[in-house]
Amino acid sequence: MEKQTRYLTFALTKGRLANKTMELFEKIGITCEEMKDPDSRKLIFVNEEQKLRFFLAKGPDVPTYVEYGAADIGIVGRDTIQEEGRKIYEVLDLGFGKCRMCVCGPESARDLLKGQELIRVATKYPHIAKDYFYNQKNQTVEIIKLNGSIELAPIVGLSEVIVDIVETGSTLRENGLTVLEEVCPLSARVVVNPVSMRMEHERIAGLLSRLNEAISKGGVNPCKS
């Protein structure tokens, strides 16, 4: 009897990243018609012919699904990979979702980053912020975890600076803030479960090499829309 091919399961980051991912996948012949129905309430989408399954998850949950093997492969921002610190392999930069993790604040806060001042840092990314200030800058700071609209924090006096994602820079500009230091560049990445990488090596390596080829031919538009 012929061996039944098992489904390869993808966890995609809901929203813009998932749309860009499917755009890129289409370029290498991977499609999922079911996913294109905007009225669908389905959570899992299947391509029977290619034995692929896709589901959409919140960014921070994608590395969790991949670490536990509920998804073989995940597509997620590098910011989330760094922040979550899961046991997964980061194997490919997809070249879209490009932005930067930065320390931002009013220009007047620039000097506070030069010395050993005990400042407050608001962020949605406490692990990244802690690693940057403690391990790279050797500056002791108080980190305050927020869940969104981080730019508010220095404006209303919650913190002196923030660690946040900067893409176009317009949120900063419109709120009188600026980039003070760059922590790291970011973009969408492919992550893989270590066991899947061994067990499904041929299929996953084949997929990665086709993705690589599509990226080297121009990939998808790296911008926001």
Residue ranges in contact with ligand PRP by CB under 6 A: 124, 148-151, 164-171
Q: Report the side by side order of strands in the sheet with 8-13.
A: 44-47, 52-57, 8-13, 73-77, 188-192, 89-93
Closer residue to ligand PRP (CB): 179 or 208: 179
Neighbours of 194 (CB within 10 A): 13
Structure tokens at 148: 């969104």
Residue nearest to ligand PRP (CB): 148
Closer residue to ligand PRP (CB): 170 or 216: 170
User: Least Å distance between CB 178 and ligand PRP?
Assistant: 12
Closer residue to ligand PRP (CB): 5 or 168: 168
CA distance 24 to 218: 10
* DSSP single-letter state for residue 66: H
Closer residue to ligand PRP (CB): 205 or 223: 223
Closer residue to ligand PRP (CB): 166 or 211: 166
User: Least Å distance between CB 112 and ligand PRP?
Assistant: 21
CA distance 74 to 204: 12
User: Least Å distance between CB 153 and ligand PRP?
Assistant: 11
Closest of 71, 159, 193, 84 to residue 128, by C-alpha: 84
User: Least Å distance between CB 51 and ligand PRP?
Assistant: 34
